[in-house]
Chain A
Amino acid sequence: GAGVSQSPRYKVAKRGQDVALRCDPISGHVSLFWYQQALGQGPEFLTYFQNEAQLDKSGLPSDRFFAERPEGSVSTLKIQRTQQEDSAVYLCASNREGRGNEKLFFGSGTQLSVL
């Protein structure tokens, strides 16, 4: 596609519900990143995929967070048993190879509100 697409744009969940956030990266981009952005903060790294392989999940805050990219394109970030502290904007970014000098292409994010 022309850009990184994320859905839904907004998600309201009751505490304890499971949610799934989708990211459709730019076609041909090998690298895919998920970030969490709390209100008034910068994006914080969650996890990184190179094609379908999840090479780094060191930023996932707990085992309630799970991400996958089974065919090396679309990725889903799943949060189980949501808590109020999970409320944030979840940003997806992609680039061609994930090299240090590459810029990131971001989606508009999914704003998650847990009530």
Chain B
Amino acid sequence: AQKVTQAQTEISVVEKEDVTLDCVYETRDTTYYLFWYKQPPSGELVFLIRRNSFDEQNEISGRYSWNFQKSTSSFNFTITASQVVDSAVYFCALSEAQGGYQKVTFGIGTKLQVIP
């Protein structure tokens, strides 16, 4: 069975600090995909990034970076020089193709508050 663990339920940082959101996953499949989504107060989850299980290259996009380590089943997300607009709930998700369609399991989410 799939499982996603986000151990940090809430984090508060002061603006311009760096912050890392942790994600650990469990799966028996060899082919799977990992995602991060952002949920601002408006409620709509917004896609941030996707990695497949065969690609362990880390990725940087502006102030955002992701560290995928298969050996520890982790897919951590770092925001550099945080801003107030980064305040939101962030979800890590694991997607597998089962029976011809995707089954997505979400973590509990990490609520990030960036204080000005």
Contacts and interface: CB of A to CB of B under 8 A. Distances in A.
Interface of A: 3, 31, 33, 35, 40-45, 48, 50, 55-56, 89, 91, 93, 98-109, 111
A108 B103 contact: no
Interface residues of B, number: 31
Contacts of A106: 37, 44-46
8 contacts: A42-B91, A45-B103, A55-B99, A91-B45, A98-B102, A100-B95, A100-B102, A108-B43
Contacts of B101: 31, 48, 50, 55-56, 98-99
Contacts of A104: 37, 45, 47, 104
A103 B35 contact: yes
Top-7 shortest CB links A-B: A100-B97, A42-B106, A98-B101, A103-B47, A106-B45, A108-B44, A100-B102
Contacts, number: 73
B102 A99 contact: yes
Given A48-B101, A55-B99, A99-B102, A41 B108 contact: yes
B104 A41 contact: no
A55 to B, nearest CB: 6
Given A91-B45, A106-B46, A109-B44, 9 more contacts: A31-B101, A40-B109, A42-B6, A44-B106, A48-B101, A99-B102, A100-B31, A104-B45, A106-B37
Interface in B32-55: 32-33, 35, 37, 42-47, 50, 52
Contacts of B100: 55
Contacts of A91: 45
B104 A42 contact: no
Interface string B46-74: 11001010000000000000000000000
Nearest to A106: B45
A15 B100 CA distance: 38
